Structure 1
Amino acid sequence: MKNILVGINSKYVHTNLAIRYLKKYIEENSNEKIKIYESSINNNIQKIIRDVVEYEPDNIFFSVYIWNVEMVFKITKELKKILPNKRIILGGPEVSYNPDEILEKNIEIDGILIGEGENVLLNFLTKDIKDVKGVYYREDNKIKFNGFEPLIENLDIIPFPYDDEELEDVHKIVYYESSRGCPFNCSYCMSSIDKSVRYFSLERTKKDLKKFIDIGTRLVKFVDRTFNLNKDRYMEIWKFLLENYRENITFHFEINANIFDDEVLEFLKKVPRKLFQFEIGVQTTNPSTMKAINRNNNLDKLFHNVTFINKNIHLHLDLIAGLPFEDYETFGKSFDYVYKTKCEMIQLGFLKMLKGTQMKDEGEKYSYKYLDFPPYEILSNEFISYKDICRLKDIEEVLDFYYNSQKFLKSVDFVVENFFESPFKFFESIGDFYKERGYLEVAHKEVAIFNNFVEYYEKMNFPKKEEFLEYLKFDYLFMGKPGFYPAWIEENKDKELHKNIIEKMSFRSTREAHKLTELEKFSININTKEREDINIFFDYSGEETKYHIIKIEE
């Protein structure tokens, strides 16, 4: 029989780890062959349908998630018209919590696999359906279920999911897991449903990671729900990665920064910049909210740990708007807390009422209103209005422009420190400006976002404009060699000094030197924030811009 696993990702750069595990496991444990077909939600539905049909499969398996579920249901309806006698089977988190309802409403679906998929799919392909657990299926016009398939205790029996050529693709994000399950009980999260935690052995994990390192994979994202649960284990993995360090590879981990001790912090100081990237779920700083969602952040310790490691560890800190007891004002306080850590990225998310979670069950308790279709995002609850949610959406967008881009570090700090009582109030203000001007409705080139900032400053009638423009000019030049100068920059160059500097550097030619450097006069020392006439030399020849301040002697 011909089998095909279909993964429709949210972006081209993503890879579907689940279908790769399934393929490898099936082919190692049976005579069945199974093809992987991968696409994205941005691709044409008819193209996907044609590609699947041309393979002439007997069984079509879809990996279903919140981002692709609507597309999958459209595709399956059309596929059944073309292939009426072929089986269409769904699996994945978006169809695992109401399989009876899905089968009743969608007659083109022949079955739904639930739970951990490796053994369920293997048995489905190699046994009589009556002997297979973990499958909802139709028989005699009735929906049948034979019970749940036990979890795999020894995860090492699952083969490594990737082929070598996949790992060589520098344009793709590679996902990897060293454990399954999560011991925490966050009420909004589907991972809290499986409380047990199972690990791949350290020997197996090191062997897998060495493949990524040797082949030259650029970004490996661990999907372990909380990577740093077992200190002895995660420290051994991190030491292994440090011992086998290679430039241009990054490992991304979701961690709980509350539980780092001094030994861990000291170790992390040794980690080369860009080798590790941490995603830390703060979610809220409101005590009542933390209690309601079953989280317990020690905020002082968390702040200390995050600020201690953020010099060489790329940090993403997450917030969730719309949680119980979190109103607009308290969310602003959570935002300010995260902003002051100076992490590289603030991920401002909005609560999703996911099937199977405690939060979904408690929706009526807090008067939740939310989208009835994916992504099931909150519209309002008794603590926050729809209007405030929309305002936070605007803040999310300008936050990407003026913070997460890391292109406005000096100029935004200047504005916040001089004219706002808190960072949140600044992003609220500039979000309102973008909304009023209609700038949220259009795409912007990089220079336009700088120009909009100048327009915003002038509209607010803030004083110290000359100082602001100096900081903004630094941010603009630090971003990269400018193709041109916007109107608000007054060029002020010492060409003779620039020539003397580049003559002492090891560029192949004067042309290359000018292409990869810039020299500009400033009236403010960017580092000390003191009024002082200086030159700043920008060097763009490396992976990151470097700058050097040259004081002008009177």
Structure 2
Amino acid sequence: MSKNILVGINSKYVHTNLAVRYLKGFTEANSDVKIEIYESNINNNLMKIIRDIAEKEPEKIFFSTYIWNKEIVFKITKELRKALKDSKIILGGPEVSYNPIEIMKENDEIDGIIIGEGEKIILNYLTKDIKDVKGIYYREDGEIKFNGYEELIENLDIVPFPYTDEELKDIHKIIYYESSRGCPFSCSYCMSSIDKTVRHFSLERTKKDLKKFIDAGTKLVKFVDRTFNLKKERYLSIWQFLLDNYRENITFHFEINANIFDDEVLEFLKKVPRRFFQFEIGVQTINPKSMENIKRNNILDKLSHNVKYINKNIHLHLDLIAGLPYEDYESFGKSFDYVYDTGCEMIQLGFLKILKGTEMVNNVEKFNYKYLDFPPYEVLSNDFISYKEICRLKDIEEAVDLYYNSNKFKYSVKFIIDNFYESPFKFFEAIGDYFKKRGYFDIGNRETAVFNYLVEFYREKSYEKEDIFLEFLKMDYLLLGKPGFYPEWIESVKDKEKYKSALEKMNFRTLREAYKHTEIERFKYNFVEMREEEVDILFDYRKEDRDFSVL
């Protein structure tokens, strides 16, 4: 039975807690102390989590505390104290690092709070007298004491690789990985801007780690480096290594500053196989005053050019933040249209969070910010945007997830925007208003229902060219996969002889197999030459990227 437990309460089952794995590995590599990991998620039964931990009767319990689990962690610690009177309960992580004395005064059950990087602190706490341990607030003789800050680890290679072989093979989990710590940028809303010291794992160590992922069959590796592409020689070397060791069905996710890509980098990225790399790019806003306030300098022409240049083979997520200083509702719409124009695969519409320890706190009184007093501390209003407008953006966010980020309406939504809207933002605003009015956001929406709602919306607006729009929507529907049934708005016409003749020329073992993985449908629009014309289109569903051809 372990006397020490590291607790990670993740936001979803598919997530893995990188921090607790580092802490366990470092402690056990540098001492005889054994430490156990207990992992769960915020959707699990609270009583079960409490019982699971309490039944182990640990001497020391360490909680990894973040914005998504803070409230649950505090509930757990209060109940654990009732069951475990003598156990030491220690918290660490960004949600408790910036007001530790206040937290400990308000929560008697918490025995200590770790400040900053935890590996050396926990090792020392478990192997030395508390008076000799830096980096932790602790209780002694009724007082809260602190012995100063622990130095950061300069040589990150001494931190052991965090995962077991079995964890690497779990295809149901997202594997998180870091090749560096710290961030040189000063974005005022971000916790990472506080530590501007950037340290890297060595190239040799990083490549060795990445080879483990590739060899194990890991599905998704998400780099948690705050900005991966800081040093061109370094990151190109890592990318070339990944390309040299390419394996299908694995994706590497990076957070990227796309402003600083040059022609050499762009040409390299054109060689990367589709879905092998996935980039998250923080645009946040294109409003000049907002960018100046948050200390984020986007070179808009270059950023747009770079994203458009690589969006055919790199899966791109572009981020926006609503509620920034000087960004009103209309201004946010312009930022949205800019991002939409890049053709990225996903638009991640987020809302500003007022996080303790960030410079954004200084704007609260200046711009009359109102925000949630509990996690996630999201903005409700400020001098530039009202609560009503924030709520409307929430509806737009849901509409974007359904009709853009799902990648299921590429033809039909583009048709509507091109023909009837002055901007993409105005369309998503309209469809968001429609869903809100009909109550569609409040019910579980099956895939077919979301298609049906778009037809309803189109007809309620009395838009022209409905027959052509339905052809575009039918194309989107057929690209999902071989249909089990057809909605009432699809006019289905099949030339069975032409279908059979086409299949006989394809690479299938049997005709039965061919019918199973294909479909034919007559359209009034030629989607290869993009003009109105009656054609028969054959769909091939064997690949993830659905293929179709005009017969």
> Scaled by the length of structure 2, what TM-score is found?
0.99
Q: Deviations over 1:69-95 (max 9, x none)?
A: 000011111111011111111000001
Instruction: Tell me the residue number matched to 1:104.
Output: 105
Task: Please state how far the C-alpha of 1:53 moved relative to its aligned partner.
Answer: 1.5
CA distance in 2, matches of 1:543, 1:526: 19
What is the rounded CA distance, in whole Å, between the counterparts of 1:216 and 1:524 in structure 2? 42
1:336-366 alpha-carbon deviations (Å, 9 max, x no partner): 0000111000000000001100002321111
CA distance in 1, matches of 2:193, 2:144: 28
Distance 2:321 2:68 in 1: 18
Which aligned pairs between 1:382-401 and structure 2 lie closer than 5 A?
382-401=383-402
Give the aligned partner of residue 430 of structure 1. 431
- In the other structure, the counterpart of 1:304 is 305
Return the letter of the residue paired with 2:416.
V
Q: Does 1:295 align with 2:296?
A: yes
Q: Deviations along 1:482-532, whole A, 9 cap, x unmatched?
A: 110000001111111111111222323322221210000101112333111
- Residue 335 (str. 1) matches residue 336 (str. 2): yes
Match of residue 271 from structure 1 = 272
**CA distance, structure 2, for counterparts of residue 479 and residue 526 of structure 1:** 16
Which residue matches 1:213? 214
Map of 1:71 onto structure 2: 72
Q: CA RMSD in A?
A: 0.8
- Supply the distance in 2 between the matched residues of 1:122 and 1:61 (Cα, whole angstroms): 12
Aligned with 1:363: secondary structure? helix
Distance 2:363 2:154 in 1: 32
Question: Contact between 2:528 and 2:549, CA under 8 Å: does it hold in 1?
Answer: no
Equivalent AA in structure 1 for residue 370 of structure 2: K
Give the distance between the partners of 2:258 and 2:322, measured in 1 at CA: 21
1:114 offset after TM fit, Å?
Answer: 1.0
Residue type of the partner of 1:125?
L
Consecutive unaligned residues in structure 2, runs of 5 or more: none
Matched residue, 1:318? 319
Indicate the residue corresponding to 1:252 in structure 2.
Answer: 253
Residue 406 (structure 2) aligns with: 405
Deviations 1:431-485 (A, max 9, x none): 0000000111111000000000000101111111001000000000001111100
Aligned equivalents of 2:550 and 2:180: distance in 1? 48
Q: Which residue of 2 aligns with 1:7?
A: 8
1:283-308 Cα shifts (integer Å, max 9, x gaps): 00010100000011000000000000
CA–CA distance in structure 2, aligned partners of residues 118 and 253 of structure 1 = 24
CA distance in 1, matches of 2:276, 2:158: 29
Q: Distance in 1 between matches of 2:544 and 2:116?
A: 44
Counterpart AA for 2:542: S
Partner in structure 2 of residue 93 of structure 1: 94
Output the CA distance in 2 between the equivalents of 1:398 and 1:95.
Answer: 35
| Aligned residue type for 1:513 | A
- Aligned to 1:97, the other structure's residue is in SS state coil
Normalising by structure 1, we get a TM-score of 0.99
- DSSP 3-state at the match of 1:278: strand
Matched, 1:486 2:487: yes
Distance 1:447 1:173 in 2: 29
Structure-2 residue corresponding to 1:145: 146
Paired with 1:500 and 1:51, the residues of 2 have a C-alpha distance of 62
2:548 is aligned to 547
Distance in 1, Cα, partners of 2:308 & 2:403: 20
Answering whether residue 161 of structure 2 is matched by residue 160 of structure 1, we say yes
The whole-number CA distance in structure 2 between the counterparts of 1:67 and 1:299 is 32
Deviations 1:170-225 (A, max 9, x none): 01000000000000000000000001100000000000000001111110000000
Amino acid across the alignment from 1:185: S
How far apart, CA to CA, are the structure 2 residues paired with 1:544 and 1:339?
21
Aligned residues: 550
Deviation at 1:143, TM superposition (A): 0.7
Amino acid corresponding to residue 397 of structure 1 in structure 2: E
Identity %: 71
Q: What CA distance in whole angstroms lies between the structure 2 residues aligned with 1:238 and 1:406?
A: 27
Give the corresponding residue for 1:463. Answer: 464
- 2:19 is matched with 18
Q: Give yes or no for contact 2:11–2:68 (8 Å, CA) kept in 1.
A: yes
Match of 1:234 in 2: 235
CA distance in 1, matches of 2:113, 2:469: 59
The one-letter code of the counterpart of 1:33 is K
* Structure 2 CA distance for aligned equivalents of residues 323 and 69 of structure 1: 24
User: C-alpha distance in 2, partners of 1:72/1:349?
Assistant: 24
Structure 1 counterpart of 2:412, which letter?
A: S
Alpha-carbon separation, structure 2, partners of 1:388 and 1:480: 38
